[in-house]
Amino acid sequence: MVIPTFNERRNVQPLRDRLDRTLQGVSWQAVFVDDDSPDRTWEEVRRLAAEDPRIHCLRRVGRRGLAGAVMEGALSSSGALVAVIDADLQHDEQLLIPMLAALRKGEADLVMASRRLDQPGETAGLSPFRRALSRIANRATAWVTKRDLSDPLSGFFMMRQAEFDRLAPKLSPRGFKILFDILATSRGGLRVIELPFTFTPRVAGESKFDQRVVADYTALALSKISRDLFSPRAVMFGLVGVSGIFVHLAVMRATLGFGFTLAQLLGAATAMTSNYLLNNVLTYRGRSRTGWRLLGGYMKFVALCALGLAANVGAATLVRSLGVPWWASAAAGAVVGAAWNFLSTATAVWG
Ligand code: GDD
Ligand code: MN
């Protein structure tokens, strides 16, 4: 069992007790993967591990992220089967028994627990906003994974360890949606069974789901649609760039009274700043710069983007001189500039 935790101190022992009760007669072990929680969840896990040899603690420092935590936990286990379950008791652990039975009978390669999104009463643990979001994401997911599953964003599933090991190098450690990634990456290669369950509200602690999770999911889905041509990080950088166009135009519109050239300058400067700040929190979450380093990174970002602008104009001029239409030449220049901005800032600013 892989159990990702972040500030779940009070849920650790109750979960262990529930697993103990439910999995009588099954040989199991659980690895709690804790991202150095401020509430010191890992300490509580260590305390339990000292008295219960089935419990293991993997404390990660300097890293944050649900998908990556699940990946490392799953890669550290050596059973025939691996299950992922939330630590907060929102997942009904009794479902592990039918999951196990289905895999043992060879009926499937992966069994997932699906929240019944169509029945509001069955997902009391989800806000209306989250429920709507899940539905939209489900449609997109059905398209990317070429399967019609009722809850591909579920965080509760069991699969063969060997299958996980095979897929692991192609999975993205960023983001929240490891099951989605597994389904999208296997491209219909896994036989999947869904078991419905009731997603109960949290008792202790709070959810880590936020707007950034939505952004991460969008980047991962687009990356999969591009068949991995663009990494989720490159997609995110691109999305931030597109947002910059809107910022630029909005600022220009508001400042046109100062004259076109000044408005263009203000628009470009604001867009560059918002691009930098958004990339810092979204694209490079986990390595975000803060304090004085935020300012230093900004200087580098601006300098590199200025070079990117020169590369953009240079490339566009070159392509144009070959007789290519002006708009295609401009687009080629933009692609060169964006690629430069992404690759150079990835190492120089956030490396
Ligand atoms: N190690 C680690 N690092 N664990 C994390 C992190 C992280 O950055 N973020 C969240 N977790 C842990 C939580 O401590 C919890 O055990 C589990 O992952 C799920 O996090 P929640 O914050 O409780 O998520 P939720 O209940 O809002 O979201 C549920 O729905 C999602 C789909 O919409 C969960 O079932 C998710 O697994 C699921 O993907
Ligand atoms: Mn939860």
Question: Does ligand 1 lie within 6 Å of residue 8's CB atom?
Answer: yes
What pLDDT sits at residue 228? 87
Q: Are residues 150 and 116 in contact, defined by beta-carbon separation less than 8 angstroms?
A: yes
What pLDDT sits at residue 224? 86
- Cα angle 221-154-181, degrees, rounded to a multiple of 5: 35
Q: CA-to-CA distance for 264 and 256, rounded, in angstroms? A: 8
**pLDDT(122) > 80:** no
What atom of ligand 1 comes closest to residue 155's alpha carbon?
37
| pLDDT tier for residue 120 given thresholds of 50, 70 and 90 | low
What pLDDT sits at residue 133? 79
Residue 4 β-bridge partners = 33
Ligand 1: which of 8, 131, 209, 285 to mutate, most ligand atoms within 8 Å of CB?
Answer: 209
Report pLDDT digits (tens) over 303-351: 999 999 999 999 999 999 999 999 999 999 999 999 999 999 999 999 8
Report pLDDT digits (tens) over 12-49: 999 999 999 999 999 999 999 999 999 999 999 999 99
Mean pLDDT is lowest, of 74-78, 211-215, 232-236, 282-286, for 211-215
What one-character-per-residue DSSP string does 41-68 give?
A: HHHHHHHHHHH-TTEEEEE--S---HHH
Position with higher pLDDT, 42 vs 149:
42
Q: CA-to-CA distance for 313 and 297, rounded, in angstroms? A: 24
What pLDDT sits at residue 174? 79
| pLDDT tier for residue 199 given thresholds of 50, 70 and 90 | confident
Q: What is the pTM of this model?
A: 0.79
What one-character-per-residue DSSP string does 116-131 give?
A: -TT-GGGGTTS-HHHH
Report pLDDT digits (tens) over 173-197: 877 789 989 988 888 789 999 998 8
Q: What average pLDDT does the structure give for the chain?
A: 91
> Which residue is it, tokens 């996980």?
164
What atom of ligand 1 comes closest to residue 6's alpha carbon?
14
CATH 3.90.660.10 for the 2-210 domain, yes or no? no
Question: Does ligand 1 lie within 6 Å of residue 173's CB atom?
Answer: no
Ligand 1: which of 1, 2, 3, 6 to mutate, most ligand atoms within 8 Å of CB?
Answer: 6
Report domain extents, the chain: 2-210, 232-348
Question: Does ligand 1 lie within 6 Å of residue 117's CB atom?
Answer: no
Parallel, antiparallel, or unpaired: how do β-strands 55-59 and 110-115 relate?
unpaired
Question: Does ligand 1 lie within 6 Å of residue 217's CB atom?
Answer: no
Ligand 1: which of 61, 66, 76 to mutate, most ligand atoms within 8 Å of CB?
Answer: 66
What pLDDT sits at residue 188? 78
What pLDDT sits at residue 121? 63
Q: Ligand 1 centre and the CA of 66: distance in Å?
A: 6
Position with higher pLDDT, 254 vs 199:
254
User: What residues pack around ion ligand 2 (CB closer than 5 A)?
Assistant: 88, 90
Question: Does ligand 1 lie within 6 Å of residue 72's CB atom?
Answer: no
Q: CA-to-CA distance for 93 and 85, rounded, in angstroms? A: 8
Residue 5 β-bridge partners = 34
Report pLDDT digits (tens) over 80-97: 999 999 999 999 999 999
Report pLDDT digits (tens) over 215-266: 888 898 899 888 889 999 999 999 999 999 999 999 999 999 999 999 999 9
